[in-house]
Amino acid sequence: MSRIIDVSQPVGPATAVWPGDQPCRVDWTMRRDAGASVNVAALTMSAHTGTHVDGPYHVDDGGARPAALALEAFIGPAVLIDARGRDRIEADALDGVEVNDGVRVLFRTVESAEPAAFPEWFAALSPDLARVLAARRVPLVGTDAPSVDPFDSKTLDAHRVLGGGGVAILENLVLADVEPGRYTLIALPLRLTDADSSPVRAVLIED
C-alpha cells in the first residue's frame, strides 16, 4: 500500500489562528467521569482553523458555501513545489514543472511547521501567478502559509483571481517534511451549509 502522509495541522486550543479570529475551544457536554455513559465534546472554532479550504463566499458575497463545492477539486493528482526562500511566489516558480489542467499545485514555503504560533511573515502568491494557474485550469492551489495573499492585503487579489477562475484554495498545510514531487491529494471540506470556508483533514498519497 502506498504511504499516506498527513499534511494537516493538529486542531485544538493550542492551534494558532489569524489574529482576531475565533480561537479553538473544546467544551464537554457529557463526561464519563461525571457519570455520563459517554464522552461528548463541543467545539467552538473558526472555519479557518488549522488546515482549511477558503470557500468562494469568503471573499465574494455571491460565492458558493462549502456544502456546494464540487468535490472533484479536492481529490486527485498534485505536484508539490519547493518555494522556500522566496519573498513572494511568482510565476517562475512553475518553471520546469509540468502544470496543466487536472493537476493540483501545492507550495512549500517554510523550513518547519509551527501550528501553535502564527507566523510573523509568510510568502504569498503574486496575482500574476494566480492568473497563470487559473489560465492553466488548475483545480486547486495549496500552501503551507495561512493565506495565499499577504497578511496586510485588503484587496485579496490572489483569492479573487483564483476564485474567479474556479481554482479551489487550500491553506495552512504542513509540508515541512514532504519532498517535492508528485502525489495524490485528498482534502475534503465539510458539508457546511452556512459557513464561508471549512477545515479539512488533508493527506498526500505517494504515487
Is there a catalytic annotation at residue 159?
A: no
Which domain range does residue 83 map to? 4-9+47-206
Asked if the structure places residue 90 within a domain, the reply is: yes
- The label of the residue with cell 472533484 reads 72
Residue 68 inside a domain? The answer is yes
Give the DSSP per-residue string, 3-37.
Answer: PEEE-PPP-STT----TTSPPPEEEEEE-GGGT-S
Catalytic-role residue among 48, 52, 58, 159: 58
- How many alpha carbons lie under 13 Å from residue 109 in its C-beta half-sphere? 25
| CATH number where 98 lies | 3.50.30.50
Residue 93, in any domain of the structure:
yes
The total number of structural domains that make up the chain: 1
pLDDT in tens for each of the 207 residues of the chain?
799 999 999 999 999 999 999 999 999 999 999 999 999 999 999 999 999 999 999 999 999 999 999 999 999 999 999 999 999 999 999 999 999 889 999 999 999 989 999 998 999 999 999 999 999 999 999 999 999 999 999 999 999 999 999 999 999 999 999 999 999 999 999 999 999 999 999 999 997
